[in-house]
Amino acid sequence: MGGRFNSFGVFKDGIYTPHPLPDSLKGSAIFSIYQDAEGAIWMGASGNGILRIKQGNISLVSPRNGLFDFNAYCLLEDEYGNIWTDCNKGIYRVSLKDLNDFCDGKIPSVTCVAYGTADGMKNVECNGGTSPNAWKMHDGRLAFSTVRGVATIYPADIKLNMVPPSIVIEQLIVEQNHFNPGVYNSFPPGTQKFEFSFAGISFLGGDKVKYKYKLEPFEKDWVDAGSRRQAFYTHIPPGEYSFKVIAANSDGIWNEIGASTSFTLKPFFYESPWFIGMCIFGIVELVRGFISCACDS
């Protein structure tokens, strides 16, 4: 395959209805197409990720939303509700339910499980640009072409690791000084640079642990850090904060409790509520006095 995708439409009851395509997706090379049991059309778009067309609406899932790679050379569904695909960094799978829930706005990101040389592949570079470059066999095995032959996976043999990783916040570095993240810290006005280091411990696939974090109330949504184990903040406003981090093992099982540390960033006197309140009170009294003088005159 590999044709360019510039527009799409729906043909129903003898009527063709065209639908606009976002400019960012025009010209994408389509390497794979799959229709699921619900009738949704899935496409692997080179350099963009995975597209879903459902009821005339188009949605995009990319690494910005948790997808493993911007390429999806094939789309195969196994017997357990997972979509398998490949790219030049290996083979990866993602739950079809996760994909649909993301496209429907129910979840902020998807969770992928990737396979590479550590899992037995002789080479992670899979061949794209031709169709099919992967195949589902009658017994459920999946075969993927690579630059060093065919890699096969039997989803039925994959045992999920249901134990979420334990997680710890290792370091809190503020203005190049180290602080104990296990206690409540308080920092003086003007403090600008905060760095948090954390680690998840998983005895199976420890190098594939994924992280999400957020600084409350500064951030409302989780930041998807992937495998990165640091978080950086600069120029946050004064206030009371709680930094939280959660982690998932290689099979996408999350430790939802995670780890956290709290701290206070003190304000300058002119940023404090009492000073702002005094200023407001002074302005109100000044305006009241000016009005009173105007009325007397």
Long-range contacts of 14-19 (CB under 8 A, 24+ apart): 17/56, 19/56, 19/57, 19/58
Cα 244 to Cα 263: distance, rounded to the nearest angstrom: 12
Position 130 scores a pLDDT of: 66
**First CA to last CA distance, the chain:** 87
- Residue 88 domain flag: yes
- Residue 275 domain flag: no
- Cα dist from 98 to 73, 184, 259, 291, whole Å: 19, 37, 25, 63
The residues, ordered by sequence, that sit 6+ positions from 235 with a Cβ below 8 Å of its Cβ are: 192
Domain termination residue (choose one: 122, 139, 157): 157
Same domain, 54 and 194: no
- Residue 246 domain flag: yes
140 class by beta-carbon count within 10 Å (0-12 exposed, 13-18 middle, 19+ buried): middle
267: confidence class by pLDDT, cuts 50, 70, 90:
confident
| pTM of the shown model | 0.68
* Residue-wise pLDDT tens digits, 154-196: 999 888 888 899 999 999 999 999 999 999 999 999 999 999 9
Same domain, 151 and 171: no
- Number of independent structural domains in the chain: 2
- Residue 199 domain flag: yes
The tokens describing 151, both together, are 């890699």
Q: Is the pLDDT of residue 18 over 80?
A: no
Residue range(s) defining the domain that contains residue 98: 3-157
Same domain, 109 and 184: no
Same domain, 146 and 170: no
Pair 216, 294: CB distance under 8 Å: no
Same domain, 107 and 190: no
Same domain, 221 and 148: no
Q: What angle do CA 219, 223, 224 make, to 5 degrees?
A: 170
Same domain, 150 and 174: no
Pair 65, 109: CB distance under 8 Å: yes
Cα 262 to Cα 249: distance, rounded to the nearest angstrom: 25
- Residue 261 domain flag: yes
Q: In this structure, what CATH number is given to the domain that contains residue 210? A: 2.60.40.10
DSSP letter assigned to residue 183 = S
Same domain, 179 and 136: no
Position 83 scores a pLDDT of: 96
Query: Amino acid identity of 76?
Result: L
Domain termination residue (choose one: 157, 182, 201): 157
- Residue 290 domain flag: no
Lowest mean pLDDT among 12-16, 50-54, 173-177: 12-16
Q: Is the pLDDT of residue 7 over 60?
A: yes
Same domain, 192 and 152: no
Pair 115, 92: CB distance under 8 Å: yes
Lowest mean pLDDT among 65-79, 127-141, 224-238: 127-141
Lowest mean pLDDT among 125-134, 162-171, 174-183, 257-266: 125-134
The tokens describing 136, both together, are 């589902």
Domain termination residue (choose one: 157, 190, 214): 157
Secondary structure class of 81 (helix, strand, coil) = coil
1: confidence class by pLDDT, cuts 50, 70, 90:
very low
Q: In this structure, what CATH number is given to the domain that contains residue 125? A: 2.130.10.10
